[in-house]
């Protein structure tokens, strides 16, 4: 894969600080914010400075490093009991993305094994390992997902942002798109705007422009009409949590895209690392759906776009049933027409 189509990194550890590109400012401004304590990291996750399930998990892992460093500096060997509050703080920052809890549990298990002395080096090594593993997994998913796409497919559609901004690098669904484009299989990407935070227009389009991949934006409600024209072969999306039967939670509007895809004979692909799969949930009905502030729907860039007195319903995610999903792609392999049995076999591989 040419680096020409993989130039964006949203998360960096540099000079003993965590750096996050402030995704609220894109595409007008590309600016990294620096963080050195877990409260600020949790606030950044909650405020969507960083977003996307894998990126949230990686960010939280680095947040644990900052917490341990601060606690050890202040308390010495008393850091171990004090850090429990920091882990709880980070866990409470977003409820839907299971990668957050997966990463924190991985860091928690390491903490339990550490002996006396400064825990920072060991925890930093683990956070960096989580980061590297995510990029490698994304590369693998890119290869596996691109293999499902017929040469000369022409056009793909995606919803929300699933690229380097949402992960440690390269991307999940956008990683598949990057790989397919590099292989000459795709001529153009269509990206839903993704109301109300406009991740498609602000982030996905920005990433693709940075990486010289042709992209056309469309309003979320235009995607069914686009599919009706017959040019789109696949809808490719990410996931914030996948249940044991293959039901997948993703950014609000994904379910509508899946329904339209099935009606129009367009294939539907979900791309996510196995850290996104929650085998403790039998199906998607158990996935918690974050409800965000009404102001996100009632206003845009701080200006009201609805009359005073109007109310809003603002779920951040919806759940696409496994019956509407043609393929789930993880770093462990591809599950076609997912079922509980197929998901269990993939996770056990």
How far is Cα 343 from Cα 282, in angstroms, rounded to an integer? 11
Copy the structure tokens of residue 156: 């793909």
Residue 5 contacts residue 174 (beta carbons within 8 Å): no
How far is Cα 333 from Cα 283, in angstroms, rounded to an integer? 20
Cα 314 to Cα 123, 150, 250, 296, 318, distances in angstroms: 37, 37, 14, 8, 11
How far is Cα 32 from Cα 66, in angstroms, rounded to an integer? 17
> Which listed residue (6, 211, 240, 326) is catalytic?
240
Strands across the sheet containing 317-320: 277-278, 241-243, 248-251, 317-320
Most distant pair of Cα atoms in the chain: their distance: 65
Instruction: Based on the residue annotation, tell me whether 240 is a catalytic residue of this protein.
Output: yes
Question: Can you list the pairs that 292-296 forms with residues at least 24 positions away whose Cβ atoms lie under 8 Å?
Answer: 292/316, 296/196, 296/197
Active site residues: 240
């Amino acid at each position: 894969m040419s680096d020409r189509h993989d130039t964006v990194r949203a998360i960096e550890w540099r000079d003993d600080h965590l750096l996050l590109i402030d995704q609220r400012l894109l595409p007008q401004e590309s600016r990294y914010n620096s963080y050195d304590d877990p409260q600020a990291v949790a606030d950044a996750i909650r405020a969507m400075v960083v977003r996307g399930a894998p990126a949230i998990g990686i960010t939280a892992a680095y947040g644990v490093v900052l917490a341990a460093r601060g606690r050890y500096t202040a308390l010495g060997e008393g850091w171990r009991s004090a850090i429990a509050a920091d882990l709880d703080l980070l866990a409470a920052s977003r409820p839907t993305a299971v990668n957050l809890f997966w990463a924190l549990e991985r860091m928690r298990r390491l903490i339990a094994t550490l002996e006396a002395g400064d825990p920072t080096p060991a925890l930093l090594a683990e956070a960096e390992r989580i980061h590297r593993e995510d990029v490698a997994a994304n590369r693998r998913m890119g290869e596996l997902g691109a293999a499902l796409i017929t040469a000369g497919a022409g056009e793909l559609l995606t919803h929300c942002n699933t690229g380097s901004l949402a992960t440690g690098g390269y991307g999940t669904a956008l990683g598949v798109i990057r790989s397919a484009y590099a292989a000459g299989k795709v001529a153009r990407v269509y990206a839903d705007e993704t109301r109300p935070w406009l991740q498609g227009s602000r982030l996905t389009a920005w990433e693709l422009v940075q990486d010289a991949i042709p992209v056309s934006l469309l309003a979320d409600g235009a995607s069914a009409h686009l599919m009706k024209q017959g040019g789109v072969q696949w809808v490719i999306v990410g996931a914030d949590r996948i249940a044991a039967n293959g039901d997948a939670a993703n950014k609000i509007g994904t379910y509508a895209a899946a329904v339209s895809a099935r009606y129009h004979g367009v294939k539907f692909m979900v791309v996510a690392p196995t850290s996104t799969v929650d085998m403790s949930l039998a199906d998607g009905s158990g996935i918690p759906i974050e409800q965000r502030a009404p102001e996100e729907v009632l206003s845009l860039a701080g200006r009201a776009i609805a009359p005073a007195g109007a109310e809003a319903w603002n779920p951040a995610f919806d759940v696409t049933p496994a019956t509407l999903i043609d393929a789930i792609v993880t770093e462990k392999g591809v599950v076609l027409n997912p079922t509980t049995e197929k998901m269990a076999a993939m996770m056990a591989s």
